[in-house]
A and B are shown apart, each in its own frame.
Chain A
Amino acid sequence: MSITYLEAIREAQYEALRSDPSVFLYGQDIATFGGAFKATKNLSREFPNRVFDSPISEDAMIGMAVGAAVEGARPIVEMQFADFSSIGFNQIINQAATLYWRTNVPCPITIRMPSGGTAGSGPFHSQSMEAIYAHYPGLVIVTPATVEDAYWMLLDSVEINDPVVFCEHKFLYYHLKADRIGDRELPIGKARIARPGRHATIVTYSAMVHEALRAAEELQLDGYQIEVVDLRSVKPMDTDTILASVARTGRLLALGEAFPWGGVTAEIIARVTTEGFHLLDAPPMRLNSKDTPIPYHPNLWKAHRPTTATIAAALRTLLRH
């Protein structure tokens, strides 16, 4: 028996609905249809009064979740694509993110965002929004890269008393499988050493963890041991684990699939250079997608985002320094 990343997300929602009557699910096509990606398949059958189809109204969907949370509910809202959360942006950053700070009333909502690119998806069905939301105080931004994290971090997200933007990667939905889901290990906010090494550190998250691991394998053939740090949540960001890794390797590549300007990779580098400048043997590098909207044609899409090949090339440059 094996379980995919997508099934883990479904199972976590099943478990959240089963164990906590205050949890409900709201989103477009998520009830009988089971969601555009089938992440809620059969859940409305098992919990007929707690899984609802919403109108195409992202702003209202998120505002509604905030109001429900005030009343003690723990809603999980599915954005059909992360890209469409931009319609609910105001409710996310002004309503959900500020509620606790302004009123001392917590806002336990989880917004599921199918994120990242897949071939042929084009500029409006491929975006990674984590950096945008991480910019705003009052939000937790989760970016699972493994089947186990998809499961446990979704359950954690529902349990914590703050708004969580849960960035699940569409590419991993079907591509990633695990034999079974192990025990809960790390809490949200703790990074994981996905691969130990001593010559350079890649700090990354979500689907790019897997590209980074493949690039690390490629460099092993040249005799280099590359350490890969999987952030797991970009906010809170586990600076201690990053710095400890850079202390071991002396070299840093910050890697992300999102657009290059600002963002998570910029934040990683800012932290390492301000808090760990003395640990660096070479200028830190970063690798992101290109600074254009996300292209439709696979030829362009593959060249737009970092891949094993471009990561390996970046590492070689970093190691030569």
Chain B
Amino acid sequence: MALASSINCAETDLTADFRDQFLQTFQHMMLSRVLEEKLGSLYRAGGRIVGGVYLGKGQEAFSAALGIQLRKGKDVYAPLIRDQAGRIAFGEPIIDTVRTYLGAVTGPMRGRDGNIHRGRPKEGHMAMISHLGSMLAVASGALFARRLAGTLGDSVGATSIGDGGTSTGAFHEGLNMAAVEKLPMIVSVANNQYAYSTPNTRQYACENLVDRAAGYGVEGVTVDATDLASCLKAFRAAVARARSGGGPQMVVGTLLRLSGHGEHDDASYIPDKARHAPNARDCLQVAEEFACAHGWMTPAEVRELHEEVRRTVDQTVSKVSKEPTPDPYKENWQALSCAELVEGQYKA
């Protein structure tokens, strides 16, 4: 069996079930885009958002195509920096995003941690840390424990990383370990060509990132990440292989990051030439054209969807804006779950 291949979506793949999933994913992508545009404008306006804003513009198809394959409550998902769309597809409500960015106490992170670092680990949604590469092993650990407990069943784990993150030792150790343990992990690598300002040529010397998979005995495919249909096909297949005992699967998506590293970054280091290359297409537009060309949606329906999504986002932001932010006097300042072990807090 060839360890690395490339995925394209043929017309014969377009079953009714595929169409439904495509349209559902497209909605998630649209919601993600509109939400992120709102977050970006709030950031630029200043005052409301706590900390930085990190967007996934251009990565929605790749991210959501994975998220939609996962079953919330059954599978484990450890998203990363540019996975807003995947989070939505997985079932994270956008109010969790807004509350985290605005630092509301009502959010999953209660103002203690922010922006993209949110999660609900007890629901299989891991909360990332900044240190790149570290989530692969953590997601694997969740699966490992389930296998020990006999509750693994056909659940899978999934995590994301960028081209830059694949240079970390943690990524390599994590991938190797998952392969040795034959865990049902899907590792999606968004090769958006730049790690902050650093181009691929300064990040890795192999020709194709997917070659990393073969080195660990992991099956890998490359996909055009600007094309939702191909992304769906690739992740469907990868998740199916992992579910049926095929061990870790790597899917590498090629694209260009269409935003700065964060909203503080104008990405002026990306040359015009890269911006006009085929893999710099906007996946949202590509998906819209695909849906319309196949008669799955009309342009009017797309506009309607956009309007509806915008209303949802605006309502969510205005609701969260009225919610309380943390009060240091009410905070318990407790980093341990065992209150009696917190120094200075013990009361007989």
A284 at the interface (CB under 8 A from B): no
A53 at the interface (CB under 8 A from B): yes
Q: Looking at the complex, which one of B117, B167, B197, B325 makes contact with A29 (CB distance below 8 Å)?
A: B197
Q: Looking at the complex, which one of B115, B196, B331 makes contact with A28 (CB distance below 8 Å)?
A: B196
B114→A296 contact, CB < 8 A: yes
A122→B117 contact, CB < 8 A: yes
Stretch of A83-91, A94-102, A188-196 on the interface side:
A83-91
| Total contacting residues, chain A, CB less than 8 A | 39
B6 at the interface (CB under 8 A from A): no
- The complex places the Cα of A292 from the Cα of B111 at a distance, in Å, of 13
- The complex places the Cα of A57 from the Cα of B325 at a distance, in Å, of 36
A290 at the interface (CB under 8 A from B): yes
B18 at the interface (CB under 8 A from A): no
Hey, which chain A residues are within 8 Å of B344, CB to CB? 291
Stretch of B7-15, B34-42, B79-87, B198-206 on the interface side:
B198-206
A55→B164 contact, CB < 8 A: yes
Q: For residues 218 through 248 of chain B, which have their beta carbon under 8 Å from a beta carbon of chain A?
A: none
B132 at the interface (CB under 8 A from A): yes
| Total contacting residues, chain B, CB less than 8 A | 41
A28→B198 contact, CB < 8 A: yes
A270 at the interface (CB under 8 A from B): no
Stretch of A142-150, A215-223, A235-243, A298-306 on the interface side:
A298-306
- The complex places the Cα of A121 from the Cα of B262 at a distance, in Å, of 13
Say whether, besides A32-B197, A303-B331, A296 and B168 are in contact (CB < 8 Å). Answer: no
Hey, which chain B residues are within 8 Å of A120, CB to CB? 50-52, 114
- The complex places the Cα of A42 from the Cα of B329 at a distance, in Å, of 46
Residue of A120, A290, A300 with most chain B CB atoms under a 10 A cut-off: A300
Say whether, besides A33-B269, A290-B333, A296 and B113 are in contact (CB < 8 Å). Answer: yes
* A31 CB, min distance to chain B CBs, angstroms: 8
* B270 CB, min distance to chain A CBs, angstroms: 11
Say whether, besides A55-B203, A300-B326, A303-B328, A122 and B169 are in contact (CB < 8 Å). Answer: no
A296→B103 contact, CB < 8 A: yes
Chain B residue with the shortest CB-CB distance to A123:
B113
Hey, which chain B residues are within 8 Å of A302, CB to CB? 328
Chain A residue with the shortest CB-CB distance to B345:
A291
Q: For residues 104 through 142 of chain A, which have their beta carbon under 8 Å from a beta carbon of chain B?
A: 119-125
- The complex places the Cα of A56 from the Cα of B331 at a distance, in Å, of 36
Chain B 55-93, CB within 8 Å of chain A: the 1/0 string? 000000000000000000000000000000000000000
A297→B117 contact, CB < 8 A: no
B45 at the interface (CB under 8 A from A): no
A84→B131 contact, CB < 8 A: yes
Hey, which chain A residues are within 8 Å of B328, CB to CB? 299-300, 302-304
Q: Looking at the complex, which one of A36, A87, A293, A297 makes contact with B326 (CB distance below 8 Å)?
A: A297
Q: For residues 188 through 209 of chain A, which have their beta carbon under 8 Å from a beta carbon of chain B?
A: none
B202→A297 contact, CB < 8 A: no
Chain A 55-71, CB within 8 Å of chain B: the 1/0 string? 11111100000000000
A122→B113 contact, CB < 8 A: yes
Chain B residue with the shortest CB-CB distance to A120:
B51
A163 at the interface (CB under 8 A from B): no
B196→A86 contact, CB < 8 A: no
Residue of B52, B130, B170 with most chain A CB atoms under a 10 A cut-off: B130
Hey, which chain B residues are within 8 Å of A28, CB to CB? 195-196, 198
Q: For residues 286 through 321 of chain A, which have their beta carbon under 8 Å from a beta carbon of chain B?
A: 290-293, 295-300, 302-304
Hey, which chain B residues are within 8 Å of A32, CB to CB? 197, 269
A299→B195 contact, CB < 8 A: no
Chain B 94-126, CB within 8 Å of chain A: the 1/0 string? 000000000100000101111101000000000
A300→B112 contact, CB < 8 A: yes
Given A55-B204, A296-B113, 10 extra CB contacts under 8 A: A33-B197, A55-B202, A120-B52, A124-B117, A290-B333, A291-B335, A297-B112, A299-B327, A299-B328, A303-B328
Q: Which residues of B contact A (CB under 8 A)?
A: 50-52, 103, 109, 111-115, 117, 129-132, 164-165, 167-170, 195-198, 202-204, 269, 325-329, 331, 333-335, 342-344
In the A-B complex, the 9 residue pairs with the smallest Cβ-Cβ separation, listed nearest first, are A303-B328, A120-B51, A33-B197, A124-B130, A297-B111, A55-B167, A296-B114, A297-B103, A292-B335
